[in-house]
Each structure stands twice: as structure tokens, then as C-alpha cells.
Amino acid sequence: MTPARASALRIETPEGVVFALQLASPVLRALAWAVDALVLAAAATAIGNAARVFAMFGTDWAAALTVFLYFAASMAYAMIFEWYWRGQTLGKRLLGLRVVDAQGLRLRPAQVVLRNLLRAVDFLPAAYLGGVTACLLSRKGQRLGDLAANTVVLREAKLLEPDVEQIAPVKYNSLLAFPHLAARLRSRVDPEAVRIAVAALAQRDGYEPPARVELFGELAAYLRSLVGFPEAAVEGLTDEQYVRSAVRAIYGK
């Protein structure tokens, strides 16, 4: 039985720290390849134009140069870019993808060359069918070239340091008057729900009024189901104000 395809590559360091790298989906990889194919087509046009200039010195040598340059460009394009940009071609850079060693180590020149030489087999029988099939069957989403070179393609999210001061400002948080209940809320809340609540608060002015009422109603109901604060703490709070206070309480503010 084929193992299920993972969406992330988990690596445990010798220090016992576990981190995850997001694997790129076959669709994103196909889009990056399409961009690279366009770049190569543009390079072929440029080589053709350059050959017309060289034809002044002899048509035979110009034709030979065209054949050789196009071959070199198609073979070396991905190798050179992936080495120089540490795992990225133009297409991968645009789509935010990067090739890395499957153990999370630095990409080596031998790995770059090998995975690109084996592209010839991944392309067979047509339109990367072999590569896509291998990618779908592999747990780490590896095409045949990746398997041989021990590489994976990651999706690089643009990660910026969060500005925690901007999370849900509130003048006075009545829930913090009950620190034991706030601590219970922190221990019970699902991190994913907190993430959704923070995102909802950050974009609250962008919602249609009925959708806004419904969204914060659901979030408030979930948070209320975790911990019951006394009436004195929640009196007069709308659902949105309750969510804002709860999020601030979770972050200790």
C-alpha cells in the first residue's frame, strides 16, 4: 500500500527540536515548470536572433552554435539557477518554491545536477507524466529525479515576525479580573481557533455586517463553551467584544 502523501516534511534535530517544512503541491510545481518553459522559449528566441548575427561569419557555424547553445540552455538552465539561487529557478522563485535536501541539509551541486539529469525520465512518456505519477505516489512528493538525488521541493511561506502589539486592541479587559478562569481558557483553547479569531479581528471591518455578526457569534459560542466567566465579567459585552477580550486574555494582556 502506498503511504499517504504528507503536506509537510518533519525533521527532528539531534537536539530534539522538531520543525516542519511545507512540501510543494504538484500543481504549484507544474506552474513553476510552465514559467521556466516560457523562460526557455524566450531564450530559444534570443539564441535564434543571435545566430542570425553570427551567420555573417558563416551559416554552418551559426547553425552549429544555435544547436549547441539551445541544447546547453535546456540542459543547464535549471542546474545553474538551482545552484546559484540555492534551489530556485525563475519559476520556483516566482511561485515561492525551493529545492532542498530531503534531510533539511544544504543542497549540493551533485544533487542539483542529478535531479535535473533525471528530468529526462520524469518527462516520459509525455508531459511529465512519469514525474507527476511518482510525485503523487511518493510520501514526500518526490519525482524520480528527487528520489535519486534525495531532494524535496518546499513551499516557502514569506515569514515575517508578527507584531503582537497589534493583536486585538482593547481598552479594558474585564476577563482578566478572573485570572484563574483566563488561565483555564488558555489551557483549553485550540491554537487553530485562536489563529482564526486573531485573523477575524484583524479583518473585522472588511466583513459584511450579517457575516460579521454570524462569524463572531460562532467564535464567541466556542470560547464560552470552554470556560464560563461570571456574569459580572461579561455583562454588556457583544460577541465581538467577548472574542476580543478572550484573545487578549489568552495572550495575557
Partner 1 sequence: MILDLPRFAAAERVYWHELEALLNRLRLEPGWRMSVPEIERLHYLYERCSADLVRLDAFSTEHQMRAYVESLVSRAYAEIHETRAPAGKIHWGAFIAAFPRAFRRHLGAFRLAVGLTLAGCAFGWFAIRADPEAKAVLMPFAGLMQSPAQRVAQEESAGNAKTDRLHGHKASFSAQLMTHNIQVTVMTLAFGVTWGLGTIILLFYNGVILGAVAADYVGAGYGQFLAGWLLPHGAIEIPAILLGGQAGLVLAGALIGWGERTSRTERLRAVAHDLLAIAAGAAAMLVWAGIVEAFVSQYHQPVLPYSLKIAFGVLELAALSIFLARVGRR
Which residues lie near partner 1 (CB under 8 A)? 11, 13-21, 58-61, 63-65, 67-68, 71, 86, 100-106, 108-111, 113-114, 117-121, 144-145, 147-150, 157, 159-162, 164-165, 183, 186-187, 189, 191-192, 194-195, 250-253
Q: Which is nearer to partner 1, 17 or 53 (CB)?
A: 17
CB of 209 to partner 1, least distance (A): 28
CB of 212 to partner 1, least distance (A): 22
Handedness of CA 138, 143, 147, 151 (dihedral sign): negative
Q: Which is nearer to partner 1, 230 or 252 (CB)?
A: 252
CB of 19 to partner 1, least distance (A): 5
Cell of residue 56, nine digits: 555573417
Q: Which is nearer to partner 1, 17 or 232 (CB)?
A: 17
Q: Which is nearer to partner 1, 204 or 213 (CB)?
A: 204
Rg (CA), the chain: 27
CB of 187 to partner 1, least distance (A): 6
CB of 53 to partner 1, least distance (A): 16
CA 203 to each of CA 27, 40, 166, 192, 247: distance values in angstroms, whole numbers, following the listed order? 29, 41, 12, 17, 15
Q: Which is nearer to partner 1, 26 or 131 (CB)?
A: 131
